[in-house]
Amino acid sequence: MIHEKVKEIINAFFAKLGLSNRVDDISTVSQKHIGPTRIRGLINEAANENELRKEANLKIIKDGDVITDSIIHYKSIFTKHDVEKAVKDIPDLTEMELLVQQVLNSNRILELYHDDGESSKYFTTIEVRNEETRIIRIANKINDRVYYNDIYNLKSDNVLADTLTVLTSNIEILKYLYTLDIPFSAIFTKLFRIGEVNAQKILKWIL
């Protein structure tokens, strides 16, 4: 049979390479060879496991706080569209829309406005705002001790985007947080580096 001839050619090639691999290697161990029936069974098992994972994931994302936490883990501010993307796997459209509203109406959420009082259509959380407040306090403390040129160091070590303009004040730092999503830990690290010798004093002052 063609199959047998091909098997012999492949096995001879493996032997020439010094490999132990063999096609259709006969074994005394039961079920070592997986036939079509077993393969179909494995495919069905994998499909069932995927369905179970999907159901479990849907239960998790139906929790408003979980959705909010998953978003702000990567973004300091977000839009309604970001929330909709987070719940897009929920099949029931009505349930999905209710969940979006649940997230946006949570007492954790703060809507951001422009200077003229118009909604920016961006949101953040109380936790993020508290972190921003801490950053401004650190920036104020540092501004009392350093010069303009030191502020430029915030752009170093590739922590911040190369396209950023020079940060000249604590207000610019806050604006930066609103426009780009940089982990707070990175911001704190750079602020402390600006303070250099005064970093420990600043830390004690914050605590």
* Residue 202 near residue 138 (C-beta atoms within 8 A): yes
Distance of CA 125 to the CA centre of its chain: 17
Q: What percent of the chain has pLDDT over 70?
A: 44
pLDDT of amino acid 194: 53
Helices and strands, counts by H and E, the chain: 10, 2
Report the alpha-carbon angle 137-141-142, nearest 5. Answer: 115
pLDDT of amino acid 18: 72
Q: Are residues 143 and 201 in the same domain?
A: yes
Side chain identity, residue 181: D
Is 33 within a domain?
Answer: no
With a threshold of 0.85, does the pTM exceed it?
no
Is 34 within a domain?
Answer: no
Residue 195: is it exposed, middle or buried by C-beta count within 10 angstroms (0-12/13-18/19+)?
A: buried
| Cβ neighbours for 23, distance < 8 A, ≥ 6 positions apart | 6, 7, 10, 11
Check pLDDT > 80 for residue 30: no
Is 3 within a domain?
Answer: no
Is 98 within a domain?
Answer: yes
* Residue 67 near residue 86 (C-beta atoms within 8 A): yes
Is 54 within a domain?
Answer: no
Q: Are residues 76 and 134 in the same domain?
A: no
* Each residue's pLDDT tens digit, 165-183: 434 444 455 555 545 555 5
Is 106 within a domain?
Answer: yes
Q: What's the chain's Rg over C-alpha atoms?
A: 29
pLDDT of amino acid 81: 92
Is 16 within a domain?
Answer: no
> Containing domain of residue 197, as a range?
126-206
> How many separate domains does the chain show?
2
